[in-house]
Every structure is written in structure tokens, then in C-alpha cells.
Amino acid sequence: MIVLKFGGTSVADAEAIERAGRIVASRLDRGPIVVVSALSGVTNALLALAEQAAKGHLIGALRAVEGLRERHLAQAELLLGAGTDECNETSAELSAMIDELAHLAEALATLGDLTPRSLDAIAAIGEKMSSLLCVAAFCKQGVPAVHVDSCDVMITDAAHTRAEPLPDEISAACRTALLPLVRKKKVPVMGGFIGSVKDTGVITTLGRGGGDYSASLFGAAVKADAIEIWTDVDGMLTADPRVVPDARLIAQIAFEEASELASFGAKVLHPNTIAPAVRLGIPVYVLNSRRPEGAGTKITFDAPKRAVSAIAGKNNVSLVKVGSPRMLLTEGFLRALFEIFERNRTSVDVVATSEVSVSLTVDDASRLEAILSDLRELGDVSVERARGIVAVVGGAISEGGETMARALAALGGVHVHMLSLSATGINLTMVVDDDQVKPAMQRLHAAFFGGANA
Ligand code: ADP
Ligand code: ASP
Ligand code: MG
């Protein structure tokens, strides 16, 4: 069995969906299980219209709803043929989902309040629609596809908008819902990113970009032979090609390094993707759905160790500093400090300590005010919001010191607010001004991989 996940751009329209169908067809002998994202841009559109509705701008929100209806129905016609039974049936199902979306928007406009739970109910509609559309299209292409409602298999806790999957429940559900289908040579097709709360069945989502995470969890649940993440670039590259146009393909990379890259901005993989797969040693491939013949990137346990594999970067990071001469980092201080972040379900990315202060960065600032107010009980607190992170990732960064020297030399003149080398020595991270992330990535890339900026 293998899990194939198609991201938003790989199912963006009829043409892309047909390409995805051909990829699935080429793997029928390997027992594929398919996970799809919403059509590209749809999740953003859904979240925006939810916000608009909750602010009372119902007309605008409903216009956006109708735009989504048109887009999906137009793709259904292109894929299934206008007027055919398949098209009528699929269009009726899609339309019913859009009607439900319109009702939700109306309810939000009346309530004037947008809860994480209602955001999830709305965001989930993108994947519900794309999975329906893909099933119908794949069947038309001769793939024996069967729709499986991800809410029946992706069982999570109730932390809406970034729900935590419950692996034991997911495994049990996958055994009953997916395995019999695969045994009968059918191809289960599910929406990624969405799930439901254990026992209550209320809809949840796994956080933005969560389709990758779904694929990896399903892969682990069925003990797949491989997980293929199909996207719009040739694989994991030495940097984001939107920032560094001459970035190169990485043929093979270690799980650990891929996971660091994902956490520090390489959007090509959701940061949590690797964990479930790594536990079982399942290889993860990142492949280009527009060029399926490419070899892509293979993410495995035993990849070649290079000084530097790639450069990543992330914007909109907050740098929090907690200091007090009083505390002198007494024992228990760090525990108290991190408990505050844990209580607020906010993860810390980079940490540096001195005898009298701790500096750390957070990516998700939604709970920052509450965190800061708790931190003030521990010492003097300051926060710098317009920061970014650049990371140099590679298996042997710390060996010899030459790599670190080269990285710092490349950043000459850039204000580095904080620097950290992970204990495993695979990630050198620097906090810089937000507007310096892009140039810093370009300079680091040029220093380690040559090219236009060398
Ligand atoms: P999908 O819709 O398939 O999930 P995403 O937009 O989430 O696709 O991720 C693919 C994008 O990730 C690419 O278009 C690319 O711009 C970006 N990206 C960032 N860093 C990297 C990297 N190191 N290698 C490849 N792609 C990267
Ligand atoms: N559709 C979701 C998003 O845009 C999940 C995903 O694409 O992985 O965040
Ligand atoms: Mg993605």
C-alpha cells in the first residue's frame, strides 16, 4: 500500500485533477490510498469569507460563496461532461455543500462571532468538495475510486483549528474503513486536513497545510510502504524557489533534516508530517505532479550526510526576551517559563539563554498577549514582533566550524538578533529583521550552493 497526497495546486482545476488521476492510475498495482487538499486558494477563500460574514458583511461573503460554487461546478462539467448522470449527481452533492456553506455564513453574520469551531466547519468544506470531485473524476478515468469521509477516520481531540490527531483511534478506524477497500482493489479517496472529535464527531482541522500530516498519519495507520506528497515543485529544494530561483533539487534527505526545514519555513512539507512516518521507517517522497517522471526527493532515515542540505526562512516571528538579574536562572525557572507556553498551547521555535535572560521565538502569536502577561510574573519581558528566522540545515554543520564561519561571513552587515545551533548540530538558526529574511536566505544560498548571488 502507498499513500498519495495531492496538494492544492495539484488539484487546482480539471486539468490538474486529470493529471492526478493519471498518477493514481499508474500506481494501481501498489494499493494506493489518496488524500487530497482543497482546490488551490479555496481554504484561503473560505477563511476570508467566514471572517467577512462574522463582521456582518453578508452580501460580500455570499458573493464569495457563489464564486466557489461556480468554480467547483465548472470543473465538474469539464471533468464529467455537462449533462451526464455523473456530472448531475456530483454537481448536486457539491451544490448541497455550498448551500450548507451559505447557511453557515448567514449564521455567522447573525451571531457576529467567529469561534474556532465554526471556522473549522467552514474550512473543512474545501476538502469535502475536492475529495468528492476527485472521486468522480478518477472513476471516469477508470480508477476504481471510492470516497471515504475523513471525519470517520481522522479522529482528533477538540482543539479546533489545530486539532491533535489520536493515532490509536485513527489506526483502528483505518483498519475498518480503508483496508477492506484496498483488499478489494478499490482506491479510497479522502480529504486531507480535516477530521472529527472523538465520540462527538464535531468537525476539526489539523492546521494550515495539514493535508501532508493527514497523509502521513494514514500512511502510518496502514503501515504503508511509502508516502508520496505530490506538489508543484520538483521536490525539496535547497531553498524556496520563490525566494531563490536557482535552488536545486535535493535527491535524498534525512527525516531529521527535512523536519527541521519544514519547521523553519519550507512550506513544501507540513512540519508534523514526518513524525508518524519516521516512527515506522516509512519513506516519504516529495514529487512534482506536473512532471511525474521526475525522481523527486526521497526522505529517509539513512540519507547522505552533507555539511549543508538547504536554507529555510520564515517571516512574522516574535522574539520574546525574559530577563531579570534577580532570577540568575535558578533551578525551576525554565520549567516555569516553558509551562506558560505549554498552558497556552504555543510552541517555541528557537531558544537561547544567558545567565540572566532567556530569549525565544514564537511563530504563532495568537496567544502572545496572555503569554506575556504570565511571563511578567517571572521577570522583565520584552517582545520584538517584526522578526524573521533564517536557518541553515545540514547533517554536519557543527563539524569543524567551517560551515558556521561561512554562514556568519555570508550574513556580514545583517543585524543578527539571536543565534542558535541545535544540539544535534543539524540546524544553525539566526533571528534577523523581518525584511532581511529574503536577502539573508539568498546570501546564505549563494555562499553554500553558488549561483546568481555568489
Ligand atoms: P501544496 O499545495 O502542494 O501543499 P504548498 O504550497 O503547501 O503546496 O508547498 C509547495 C511550495 O513550497 C512550493 O511552491 C515552494 O514555493 C514552497 N517551498 C518552500 N521551501 C521549499 C523548499 N525548500 N523546497 C521546495 N519547495 C519549497
Ligand atoms: N487546504 C489546507 C490549507 O490550505 C490544507 C492543505 O492544503 O494541506 O491549508
Ligand atoms: Mg502544503
192 lines ligand 1 (CB under 6 A): no
Residue 14 belongs to domain with CATH number: 3.40.1160.10
Pocket test residue of 268, 285, 314, 445 for ligand 1, highest count of atoms within 8 A of CB: 268
Could you identify the atom of ligand 1 that is nearest to the CA of residue 311?
23
Q: Residues 255, 220: contact at Cβ < 8 Å?
A: no
Is residue 376 pLDDT above 90, yes or no? yes
Average pLDDT on 151-167 reads 96
Residues 218 and 314 reside in one and the same domain: no
Distance, CA of 449 to CA of 242 (rounded, Å): 16
Confidence of residue 453 (pLDDT cuts 50, 70, 90): very low
Residues 224 and 315 reside in one and the same domain: no
* Residue where one domain finishes, among candidates 207, 232, 257: 232
Q: For 263-320, what is each residue's pLDDT tens digit?
A: 898 999 998 888 899 889 999 999 999 999 999 999 998 888 888 999 999 999 999 9
Residues 19 and 115 reside in one and the same domain: yes
Q: Output the CA 6–ligand 3 centroid distance in Å.
A: 9
239 lines ligand 1 (CB under 6 A): yes
Q: How many domains does the chain have?
A: 2
Q: Output the CA 124–ligand 2 centroid distance in Å.
A: 10
The predicted pLDDT at position 345 comes to 87
Please, what is the end-to-end C-alpha distance for the chain in angstroms? 44
Q: Lowest mean pLDDT: which of 128-137, 250-259, 316-325?
A: 316-325
Q: Which residue has the higher pLDDT, 88 or 327?
A: 88
Residue with the smallest CA separation from ligand 1 atom 15 is: 240
Residue 319 belongs to domain with CATH number: 3.30.2130.10
Residues 206 and 334 reside in one and the same domain: no
High-pLDDT (> 90) share of the chain, %: 83
* Residue where one domain finishes, among candidates 232, 260, 281: 232
Residues 145 and 47 reside in one and the same domain: yes
Using a CB cutoff of 5 Å, list residues around ligand 3, an ion.
7, 209
240 belongs to a structural domain: no
37 belongs to a structural domain: yes
Average model confidence (pLDDT) for the chain?
94
Residues 15 and 162 reside in one and the same domain: yes
373 belongs to a structural domain: yes
271 belongs to a structural domain: no
49-to-67, 117, 163, 239, 369 alpha-carbon distances in Å: 11, 15, 22, 32, 26
CA neighbours closer than 13 Å in the CB half-sphere of residue 427: 26
Q: For 227-242, what is each residue's pLDDT tens digit?
A: 999 999 999 999 999 9
Residues 227 and 357 reside in one and the same domain: no
**Cell numbers representing residue 75 in the block:** 470543473
Which ligand is closest in space to the CA of residue 243?
1
**Cell numbers representing residue 349 in the block:** 521555535
The predicted pLDDT at position 62 comes to 98
* Residue where one domain finishes, among candidates 176, 197, 232: 232
pTM for this predicted structure = 0.93
424 belongs to a structural domain: yes
257 belongs to a structural domain: no
Find the domain containing 343 and state its range.
310-448
Q: For 120-146, what is each residue's pLDDT tens digit?
A: 999 999 999 999 999 999 999 999 999
